[in-house]
Amino acid sequence: MQQIKKVVVIGPESTGKSTLCKQLAHHFNTLWCEEYAREYLLDNGTNYTAVDLLTIAKGQLALENIYTNQTAELISKDPNTPPVLFVDTDMYVMKVWSEYVFGVCDFFILDELVKHDYDLYLLCNIDLPWIKDELREYPDEQPRIELFHIYKDLLINQHKPWVIISGNYEARLNAAVKAVEGILK
């Protein structure tokens, strides 16, 4: 069986990450790993601490393992399934979130950051309008700009391919599909 390629979608809140993951999974007829933080915060409230972020990070990793195994099962049942899993959030997001909100990052997150290997990062730009929901914290443009540049700097300084995803939803999907096809060849 082929190695599963993992594509991580990251960026500031309300930049279409979950939508893009869902669209990509549908396009490639495979699975996507949702963001664990959303479920956790909906269940436990939005008054979170740095300890909660550690719990969320561990939950994200566990969820990613579940989806990795499910993707492997899917591929074993249907060898025509592309060997790709889309991941909505990784330890880079946990690092940025921790440092931006609390000024620190737990060593567990930093250790896990270097342990996990991904094949492609898709960085969602802030050119979509911010949409309010019960979990979003940064409606102002300045934090969104700051966070986007923090993510971009992280990606510039790591060794995996990455692409900025911009434009409307259709343009984003087209750019993402092209980037993913590039790693599946």
The 10 Å Cβ neighbour count of residue 155 is: 19
- Give tens-digit pLDDT for 113-135: 999 989 999 999 999 987 766 66
DSSP 120-149: EEEEE-S-SPP---TT----SHHHHHHHHH
**According to the model, what pLDDT value does residue 130 have?**
78
Res 85 pLDDT > 60: yes
Query: Which 3 state secondary structure label does DSSP give 113?
Result: helix
Closest to 121 (Cα-Cα) out of 160, 81, 159: 160
Closest to 16 (Cα-Cα) out of 165, 134, 147, 161: 165
Structure tokens at 108: 């567990």
**According to the model, what pLDDT value does residue 124 have?**
97
Res 79 pLDDT > 90: no
Closest to 151 (Cα-Cα) out of 102, 84, 91: 91
**According to the model, what pLDDT value does residue 46 have?**
87
C-alpha span between 34 and 37 (Å, rounded): 9
**According to the model, what pLDDT value does residue 53 have?**
96
Output 141 or 98, whichever has higher pLDDT.
98
Banded pLDDT at 136 (limits 50, 70, 90) = low
Arithmetic mean of pLDDT, 159-174: 96
Strand 120-124 relative to strand 84-88, pairing: unpaired
Structure tokens at 78: 């249907």
Q: Tell me, yes or no, if the pTM score tops 0.75.
A: yes
Residue 185, Cα to own-chain centre: how many angstroms? 22
Res 138 pLDDT > 90: no
Res 1 pLDDT > 60: no
C-alpha span between 146 and 95 (Å, rounded): 15
**According to the model, what pLDDT value does residue 57 have?**
98
Q: Which residues pair with 161 in a beta bridge?
A: none
Q: Which domains does the chain have, with CATH numbers?
A: 5-184 (3.40.50.300)
**According to the model, what pLDDT value does residue 140 have?**
75
Structure tokens at 91: 């330890």
